[in-house]
Structure formats: structure tokens, C-alpha cells
Chain A
Amino acid sequence: MRKIYNKILQISGNVITVKASAVSYEELAEITSQRGKSLAQVIKIDNDLVSLQVFAGSRGISVNDEVRFLGRPMEVTFSDDMMGRIFDGAGNPRDKGPLLTENLIPVAGPSVNPSKRIIPHRMIRTNIPMIDVFNSLVVSQKLPIFSISGEPYNELLARVALQAEVDMIILGGIGLKFDEYLRFKNRLEEGGALSRTIFFMNTASDPIVESLMVPDLALAVAEQFALKGKEVLVLLTDMTNFADALKEIAITMEQVPSNRGYPGDLYTQLAARYEKAVDFEGAGSITVLAVTTMPGDDVTHPVPDNTGYITEGQFYLHNGYIDPFGSLSRLKQNVNSEHRSRKDHRAIMDGMIQLYAQYIETEEKRSMGFRMSAWDKKLLKYGGLFRAKMMDLSVNIPLEQALDLGWEILAECFTAEETRMRSELVKEFWPNKSQKK
């Protein structure tokens, strides 16, 4: 029988302190107050003083409320029945489905032995050319989408969720706006992807402490499915909210802040989540795509900055486009070589981006009022086509078609020599104009 305590000594922010004994670190407790029951987690023990962060927040908790320690750390259920279900940040259902209590697994488990990892080598096709062609997503990759508020990053996530070639999706919403959450749900429902999706949703109106648990829950479940051979894609939005929640707790606990109020272990905390991305040899995999909004469009802000050091590249979302310059998939070399992809993949990737860079220069010159040469005009035409046919986020075509489209765009604007493509590729792929007309 677990002990029950009903003397809360201190309530500060979302952290309460009780006098208790035989409590273990990171153990869960249940607090019953007027407002109902809430889980809480031990975050500090000092002799018989135990500090807990209360998932539902401390509002309405009175000093005489009951605190019952559960004798177990944070756990989450794991079963195939979870597909299509929606849970909150405490792991309870937030749809009208039944409570799942079987087969509990601990969250935030040990990290993978680096010597058991393998070099990532499989592409995940998303049918979004800016990803597939120019910055391929790779199995076991962790990639953030750097973006500012107002950009269609959740749209992009939903599209990836619908189109990505994976077995299942786990979507973790952290401080997500309620209407965004509904939109997500509807998009996946319309697209028929709901049955292969599991939601862990913490909306902006839900308790902030619960948002801290979302990545751990999502990744713990993902890990179990991956070990069973599933290719899992974990989508998290928005990790900046997660970092802000960490900041809030750290400040409440009177930890010394390091940079703009964030705790000194921000890097470690983020890395512990992102590093869950893995390709298990002989089993499944976890790939992580996470939105990180940059306050003030500042990439040197601690959250995007620390994230950039952890992740394997990043997608920049600017003005509704995936920016072809700042964006980088560090693992794309592993999947776009001749024997892993079509042989013109790299050439199209490099060639089109180089020309696009020249287009940007020309665009600058034009806006400063310089006269446009014939070459400049070609570039302007090319830039327009590239934006409309490739960069637009609504384009939805498989990789091979996107590569063909790349050649078509080039042929429409330039001669083969002007593109500096290798002659053998030109011979094989350059569209034949006479056929086209």
C-alpha cells in the first residue's frame, strides 16, 4: 500500500513541495484537489522534502490536498489499439475512446548504443520536390523545420504525414493552438491516414507541464513500434514551446539560467529527445521531423541554435517556401548517389540550385534598376518557373517526375550548354523539343 500525504508545504509556480519518505526520483504521484485528479512527477528530493511538478498545474491546489505516490515512474501504454487514437500529455485519451492501461512501458528510456547504429542509407519519399530532390529526408534522420509564426509549418507537417512512405505516424502537439489541432486531425482524416496515426496532443490551453511529457511519450511509443519492425515517423510541433516549458520549470526551481533564461541543460534536454531517432538493424526505425519556431526570425536564439547543433540539417520555411539555401539535409549524400537514386539526381540538385542562386542575384540587380541582359532575362524566367513548379508547397509529385520536371524547366529557359550539365546526362535526359510541341 502506497503512502498518502496530505500536507503540502509549498506551492510555487507549477511545483509543489511535500514532506514524504521512501519516494524515488522521477516517481509519479497523484494529487486530488477540488478540481479533480492530476499526475505529478518528482523532480527534486532533499531529505524528506519532495518537489513535484504538477501536470495539470497548481491552480486550485490547496495545502491540505491529498498526494498519493504511485511507486512508478512515468509510463505509457503501448499496443496496436493506439492507432488512430488521441492522447493528452499525461497519456490519457482525449478522444472518446476507452482508457488503455495494458502493457505499460517506461518513457525516456536509455539511449541507443552508438556501436549498434548503422549509417543511414534509405530515403523517405514525401512527394514534395523541395524535400525529395533537393534535401532528401532519410530514415532515422532528425530534422527541424525552422520557421516563424504564421508560416504554414503545420500544413507542411500534415502533408508529410499524409504522403511520407512510412508505416505509421506519431504526432506530438506541444502547446498547439486548438484550431490547428482540429485542422491536423481533419487533414489526416480526409487523407485516410488517421488509422496509421497516433496523436499525443497538448494544446495551448492545456497545462504546460504536460507539454513537457509529449515528446517523451511520443518517442517511447515510437521506439516500441520501431523495435517491432515498424518504420515510424515522429512529428513534433512546436519544440520551442517545449523549451519554453523547460525554462518555466527551471526558473521556478530557482536554477541558474544560462542564456535568455533557458536552463544550462537545454542542449542536453533537446538532444535526449532528438537522439531517439534511430534505424535499428534488423528492425524498424524512428525518423523525427520537428517544428522549431524562431522567435523574431533569429536563428541564433538559444532554441534554434541548440537544435541546429543536434539535428542533421534543417528546413527553413520562408514566405511559404522551403528555402533552398539555408535548408540542408546532412544525410542526403547517403541516398542521392547514383546507385541509390536516379543518376541525374545530384546533377539536377546542384545544377538547379546554382542557377537559382544566380537568379536571386539577378533579381537583386533588377530591383536596383540595372539593365537586364539576355542572360538575365533567361534567369528571371527560370526563377519564376522554379518557384511556381518546384518550390510551391502544393506540388505533389514523385521524385522521378520531379527530376523530369527539372529537366523540362531547364530546357524551357536555357540551352544545354548554359546549364553546365555533364554531356552524358544531357544526352539521356534533355527533353526533345520537337516532341514536346
Chain B
Amino acid sequence: MNPTIGKIIGISGNMITVSVNGNIMQNEVAYIIKDKERLKSEIVRIGDGFAFLQVFESTKGLKVGDKVEFSRELLSVELGPGLLGQVYDGLQNPLPELAAEFGFFLPRGVELKPIDDKKKWEFTPQVKKGDVVIRGSKLGHVPEGIFEHAIMVPFDLQAEYSVEEIADKGKYTIRDKIAILKDEKGNKHKLTMGFTWPVKEAIEAYREKIVPVEPLVTQARIIDTFFPVAKGGTFCIPGPFGAGKTVLQHILSRHAQVDVVIVAACGERAGEVVELLREFPELDDPRTGKKLMDRTIIICNTSSMPVAAREASVYTAVTLGEYYRQMGLDVLLLADSTSRWAQAMRELSGRLEEIPGEEAFPAYLESRIAEFYERAGLVELNSSEIGSLTIGGTVSPAGGNFEEPVTQSTLKVVGAFLGLSRDRANARRFPSIDPLESWSKYSSFIDLKIINQAREILRKGNDVGQMMMVVGEEGTSIEDFLIYLKSEFLDSVYLQQNAFDKVDAATNEERQQLVFANVKNVLDTEFKLSEKDEARNLFNKLRQLFIDWNYLEMDADKFKSQEKQIDKLIKEHSGNEKDLQ
């Protein structure tokens, strides 16, 4: 059979029309041959004798008549040991390697190997000849960074197989043969440690999906206590520009208690990625003692890089996440920003001249967003191990208005909504998650009833604050004023967190339990105060004590004495009967 060949017949932006003489498939990868360059593209629509292709590179200089080759493959990523610590573009080209070869600028039409295939890994087999395996079964493992990277049966092998041959313990590259499997019909499959998987298909080589319940500790107090995220759950962070979305994502990528973090910098500023690129290799991961970069993969398709590759980048990221989940690990994917991804879809849709939906986004925007977030989940693997992929996406709503298609479509499918507020950001209250607007469907490690009481105080305090703007402090009763002070207190000592302080930046579960119990003590106490100035002074003092306390290491000597001091101050002013006795 002759391979299918195409010829360009039309060009508009990054969309080309190609006449074809044979069999092609939807979403197949094709290459435009331009002198020595091979420009990668993907079929997005097929007509009678022609196809529309979105090109992952600049189309400058292309001509009608230029040759197009079809690959017979869907857009795929390579999986195997060696992914951790890498920095890829949206199509899994390693950026540092590109830089080493081509210097400052990104070359057009170049593809490099995503994983080093010269490096040898110490393989230890886990199965023996005659064992029965299915897709996802572990054949062995190699050490990668902080854990054993499982070498699995590729996920596209759908049947049951018996192990015909398995490599001995020793050093192999990802191209070396490590096993031969035989299916029922006697067909043999040669396996290596690396294999590919199409990015737009979910990896489902597990027994079943289960309900996410266990909290994913992010060490951000407002999230863990008030708007928790579960392992295997989903959340979104919408916010106008300048509200601190990216900073919050960086904090999460640093402090979240998971095994692997994948950061997809999708269509955002290059400068922000640079901070990760330059700082992560230097920063220690307190959980493992290794560098943070050793548990991180960065997918980086910033705003000035080709827009079609931006569309692909979130899929690349989620596929890598699913791969590590198959090993029984906890993975966190942070996509910044899903709005840029949606805009890439919009640009594509516009060039295809599809009938636009709201704000010119395509009609399938909602289903694509849902599909993406649905790839998160807590799963029980065939080996009965548990793995999780948690997805958090930022949303950059136009004009900061949440009533827009991307935010609304996202809210329908996520389990937690961490809405950022410009007012809080302007008032330098970080993280600027709005405690009145945000919600989470997952359960926190603190009892829901207590959380609701605390939120009630925040709500009432906000109401009183609004009222005071009109009637002034004089017109406010001391009871209302105390509620206001309590809500401000809760906000400043617990909801706000100083990302630049070594200690305060990350609060683990044990500490959150302890601090929150003390905060609750303040909220529950009926203070015996008759003057507003007196009340304000007391709360100023309390606030100072708590903030200083937040900055103390938990095992420091002062930590305990500070707690006692706080307790004493509360008791001194308490009108609660039990304290009076």
C-alpha cells in the first residue's frame, strides 16, 4: 500500500487545507515538508479529498503545493523512566536540549527525543516466565528520583498475556528489549521500557475509579481547612489579573504533599515559568530531602509559542500525570491557565469557520473542559494499589467577570472552587481566595460543623463591616463590633498566610488542627468588653500574638509558651462561665 501523500491547497494563519490521495484518520499527525524542516501538524477536520490541519509551528513561508506526509499515528507522548525533572514544550520537546542545540530561539520544525535513550537504568524484574499479565501490570522497576519507577505492560495491549521472556536484573536503556509477551493466539510482543500513548485518550488501565475522600494537604490553611481538595479531585482557581493566580499555583507546586507535580504553563508569561525553571532545581523538597525538581515535570508552552501546541500542552501534561498514577502514586497537575487553552480552541474553531457559541467559543467548549477534568480521579489499580491524579486549573476570566463561558463550564465539573478576589489582592490579603464566594465539595480534616460556624462569623463580620461603612463605628453595637473583630481576626491570622516566610508558607495538618483549635477558642469566647477601643486593643494584641506564633517553628521552645500566652490573654478577658469558675 502506498503511503498517503498530501499537498497544501490553502493557508490561513496556523490552519492549512491539504488535498489528500488516500486514507487518513481524524486527529492523525502529519508533517509538512518544507526544505529541511518538518512542521508537525494534526488533522482536525476531514472533507472529501481534503483535510484541515492545524500546524503546531509558524506557517510563514508555506506555499500551495508543499508536500505533506501522514504518520498514521495520533498525537502521542513517550512514556518511560526519565520524565521527572524534565522541561518540555507542549509537544514534549525538551526545552533545555533545544536550547543547547539551537541557542536563544526556538527553531521551527525540529523534534527532539523526549526521553534520553542513551541513559541506562538499573532494572529489577518483578515477574517470571509464565506469569500472566495484562496492560498496566508491573514487569519490574527502575529507580527514578525518589521512588521506584514501575515498568508496566503498555496500556494499548488489551488482552491477557503470558510472560515469554523477561530481562535479568541489569542496566538497560529505554530502547532495549526487556520482555516478550505472548497472547492467546501465540503472537509475540517485544517490549521496551518506553512506549507511546495518544494524549487525547485517557489511560484507563486500572480496575475502577473510586470516590475521592482523603484530603490532599496543600499546606495552605485556607484551602485545607475551609475549601479542601481531595486526592484525585479537581479544583479551579479563577481570578482577574493581578489577583495572584500564578503565585498560588507556585505555592501549591512547592508545598503540596504529593509524589509528583506536573506544572502545565499554558499560554502564560514566560517569565513566570522561568522562576520555576531556575528555582526548583535549587529548592529542597522537605518530604524527601531531594530537590523539588526531582518530583516535578514542567510543560511549558508560553503565550508567544505556537497556539496549536498550546492546545496540545494540557493533554500532554494530563497524560504524563495519568502515567504516574498507574504506578500507584499521588500526582498533582496544575494547569495555568485553562482560559488560554480554551482560547486556543476558539482560535482553531474560528479558522474552521464553525458556528460560534457564547463569546465565540466553540459549542464543544463545555464538553472538552469536562473531558479534561474527568481525567482526574482516585483509582484502584489491578494490583489493588491506589493512585490518584488531582487536577487544578486556573481560569483567567475576561475582565475578571466569572460570568463567562470558561469559568462557568469549569465550575460545573470541578469539586472545589477557589475564587480569587481583586479586592483581597489589592488589600494585600494573600492568598486572595475569597472566603465568602469559594466552595468545596470535599471534606476537610476539621469537622464541617465547626467550619460552618467559622464561615458564619466571616459572613456576619463582612455584613457588619459593610454596615459600618455607612453608619460609622459609633452607630455599631458592641456585639456587632465584636463579630466584626472576630472575623477580621480569623482572616488575618488564619486565612492569610505569608508565602515569603519560611515557616508560615507551609502549615501541615497537625499544625493546622492545633492553630485552628486556638482560633476557634477566640471565636467561641464571649469577651467581657464594653468599650470598642478596649476591644480593638485586645484583638490587636491577639492578632500580633497569633501572627508571631505562626512564624515560630513547631518544635521551637517558644512555640509552646506562645500558645500559653495566647490562652492566658483569652481567659483574662473571657466572660464565659466555665472560665470564670
Which residues of A does B touch, CB under 8 Å? 21-27, 43-48, 73, 108-120, 140, 227, 255-259, 263-265, 267-268, 271-272, 275-276, 280, 299-302, 305-306, 308-310, 312-313, 325, 328, 331
Q: How far is the CA of A117 from the CA of B279 in the complex (A)?
A: 13
User: Assuming the A-B contacts A73-B60, A110-B58, A114-B274, are A47 and B99 also in contact, with contact meaning beta carbons closer than 8 angstroms in the complex?
Assistant: no
Let me know if B368 is at the binding interface, CB within 8 A: no
A-side contacts of B270, CB under 8 Å: 111-112, 114, 117, 275
A-side contacts of B60, CB under 8 Å: 24-26, 73, 108
Known: A119-B278, A258-B361. 10 other contacts (CB 8 A): A25-B11, A46-B9, A73-B60, A115-B277, A115-B300, A116-B104, A118-B274, A276-B304, A305-B241, A305-B398
Taking a contact as CB atoms under 8 Å apart, the answer to whether A309 and B241 are in contact is yes
Binds A, one of B61-69, B369-377, B549-557: B61-69
Interface of B is mostly: mixed
B-side contacts of A26, CB under 8 Å: 59-61
B-side contacts of A118, CB under 8 Å: 274, 278
B-side contacts of A305, CB under 8 Å: 241, 398-400
Taking a contact as CB atoms under 8 Å apart, the answer to whether B61 and A111 are in contact is no
Taking a contact as CB atoms under 8 Å apart, the answer to whether B269 and A24 are in contact is no
Taking a contact as CB atoms under 8 Å apart, the answer to whether A267 and B340 are in contact is yes
Q: How far is the CA of A325 from the CA of B425 in the complex (A)?
A: 11
B-side contacts of A313, CB under 8 Å: 242
Taking a contact as CB atoms under 8 Å apart, the answer to whether A110 and B269 are in contact is no
Taking a contact as CB atoms under 8 Å apart, the answer to whether B360 and A117 are in contact is no
A-side contacts of B64, CB under 8 Å: 21-23, 45, 47-48
Q: How far is the CA of A299 from the CA of B240 in the complex (A)?
A: 11
A-side contacts of B303, CB under 8 Å: 267-268, 271-272, 275, 310
Q: How far is the CA of A308 from the CA of B400 in the complex (A)?
A: 11
Nearest 3 CB-CB pairings of A with B: A300-B399, A271-B303, A275-B304
Taking a contact as CB atoms under 8 Å apart, the answer to whether B105 and A109 are in contact is yes
B-side contacts of A271, CB under 8 Å: 267, 303-304
A-side contacts of B268, CB under 8 Å: 309
Question: Could you pull out 24 A-B pairs where Cβ atoms are within 8 angstroms?
Answer: A21-B64, A23-B63, A24-B63, A45-B11, A45-B64, A46-B17, A110-B106, A111-B270, A112-B270, A113-B99, A113-B106, A114-B270, A114-B273, A115-B99, A117-B274, A256-B353, A268-B347, A271-B304, A272-B304, A276-B304, A280-B104, A300-B399, A300-B400, A305-B399
Q: How far is the CA of A259 from the CA of B400 in the complex (A)?
A: 14
Taking a contact as CB atoms under 8 Å apart, the answer to whether A110 and B107 are in contact is yes
Let me know if B457 is at the binding interface, CB within 8 A: no
* Interface bits B405-426 vs A (CB < 8 Å: 1, else 0): 0000000000000000000001
* Nearest chain A CB to B94 CB, angstrom units: 9
Q: How far is the CA of A27 from the CA of B63 in the complex (A)?
A: 10
A-side contacts of B269, CB under 8 Å: 275, 310, 312
Q: How far is the CA of A43 from the CA of B15 in the complex (A)?
A: 12
Which residues of B does A touch, CB under 8 Å? 9-13, 17, 58-65, 87, 95-96, 98-99, 102-108, 240-242, 267-271, 273-275, 277-279, 300, 302-305, 307, 340, 343, 346-347, 350, 353, 356, 359-361, 396, 398-401, 426
Taking a contact as CB atoms under 8 Å apart, the answer to whether B300 and A114 are in contact is yes
B-side contacts of A331, CB under 8 Å: 271
* Nearest chain A CB to B120 CB, angstrom units: 25
Q: How far is the CA of A46 from the CA of B104 in the complex (A)?
A: 34
A-side contacts of B346, CB under 8 Å: 258, 264
* Nearest chain B CB to A435 CB, angstrom units: 35
Task: Please tell me which one of the listed residues B63, B105, B360, B401 contacts residue A113 in the complex, with CB atoms under 8 A apart.
Answer: B105
Q: How far is the CA of A263 from the CA of B64 in the complex (A)?
A: 25
In the complex, residue of chain A having the shortest beta-carbon distance to the beta carbon of B278: A119
* Nearest chain B CB to A54 CB, angstrom units: 18
Q: How far is the CA of A328 from the CA of B243 in the complex (A)?
A: 12
Taking a contact as CB atoms under 8 Å apart, the answer to whether B63 and A25 are in contact is yes
A-side contacts of B399, CB under 8 Å: 299-301, 305
Q: How far is the CA of A249 from the CA of B102 in the complex (A)?
A: 35
Select the residue from B17, B102, B107, B302 with max chain A CB neighbours within 10 A: B302
A-side contacts of B59, CB under 8 Å: 25-26
Q: How far is the CA of A140 from the CA of B360 in the complex (A)?
A: 34
Taking a contact as CB atoms under 8 Å apart, the answer to whether B87 and A259 are in contact is no
Taking a contact as CB atoms under 8 Å apart, the answer to whether B398 and A268 are in contact is no
Q: How far is the CA of A275 from the CA of B17 in the complex (A)?
A: 29
Q: How far is the CA of A110 from the CA of B57 in the complex (A)?
A: 10
Taking a contact as CB atoms under 8 Å apart, the answer to whether B98 and A47 are in contact is no
Task: Please tell me which one of the listed residues B13, B96, B401 contacts residue A115 in the complex, with CB atoms under 8 A apart.
Answer: B96
Taking a contact as CB atoms under 8 Å apart, the answer to whether B95 and A114 are in contact is yes
Taking a contact as CB atoms under 8 Å apart, the answer to whether A25 and B347 are in contact is no
User: Assuming the A-B contacts A73-B60, A114-B302, A300-B401, are A47 and B9 also in contact, with contact meaning beta carbons closer than 8 angstroms in the complex?
Assistant: yes
Taking a contact as CB atoms under 8 Å apart, the answer to whether A258 and B95 are in contact is no
Taking a contact as CB atoms under 8 Å apart, the answer to whether B242 and A227 are in contact is no
Q: How far is the CA of A423 from the CA of B349 in the complex (A)?
A: 61
* Nearest chain B CB to A272 CB, angstrom units: 5
A-side contacts of B99, CB under 8 Å: 113, 115-116
* Nearest chain A CB to B8 CB, angstrom units: 8
Q: How far is the CA of A21 from the CA of B7 in the complex (A)?
A: 14
Task: Please tell me which one of the listed residues A23, A119, A264 contacts residue B343 in the complex, with CB atoms under 8 A apart.
Answer: A264
Taking a contact as CB atoms under 8 Å apart, the answer to whether A312 and B271 are in contact is yes
Taking a contact as CB atoms under 8 Å apart, the answer to whether B343 and A268 are in contact is yes
Q: How far is the CA of A106 from the CA of B347 in the complex (A)?
A: 25
B-side contacts of A116, CB under 8 Å: 99, 103-104
User: Assuming the A-B contacts A113-B106, A118-B278, A268-B303, are A300 and B11 also in contact, with contact meaning beta carbons closer than 8 angstroms in the complex?
Assistant: no
* Nearest chain B CB to A225 CB, angstrom units: 14
Taking a contact as CB atoms under 8 Å apart, the answer to whether A259 and B61 are in contact is no
Task: Please tell me which one of the listed residues B10, B242, B302, B360 contacts residue A47 in the complex, with CB atoms under 8 A apart.
Answer: B10
Q: How far is the CA of A116 from the CA of B97 in the complex (A)?
A: 11
In the complex, residue of chain B having the shortest beta-carbon distance to the beta carbon of A354: B428
In the complex, residue of chain B having the shortest beta-carbon distance to the beta carbon of A255: B350
* Nearest chain A CB to B423 CB, angstrom units: 12
B-side contacts of A328, CB under 8 Å: 242
A-side contacts of B106, CB under 8 Å: 110-113
Q: How far is the CA of A22 from the CA of B102 in the complex (A)?
A: 30
Taking a contact as CB atoms under 8 Å apart, the answer to whether A258 and B304 are in contact is no
In the complex, residue of chain B having the shortest beta-carbon distance to the beta carbon of A21: B64
A-side contacts of B347, CB under 8 Å: 264-265, 268
Q: How far is the CA of A25 from the CA of B99 in the complex (A)?
A: 27
User: Assuming the A-B contacts A25-B62, A118-B274, A272-B304, are A227 and B12 also in contact, with contact meaning beta carbons closer than 8 angstroms in the complex?
Assistant: no
Q: How far is the CA of A299 from the CA of B279 in the complex (A)?
A: 33
In the complex, residue of chain B having the shortest beta-carbon distance to the beta carbon of A328: B242
Select the residue from B98, B268, B347 with max chain A CB neighbours within 10 A: B347
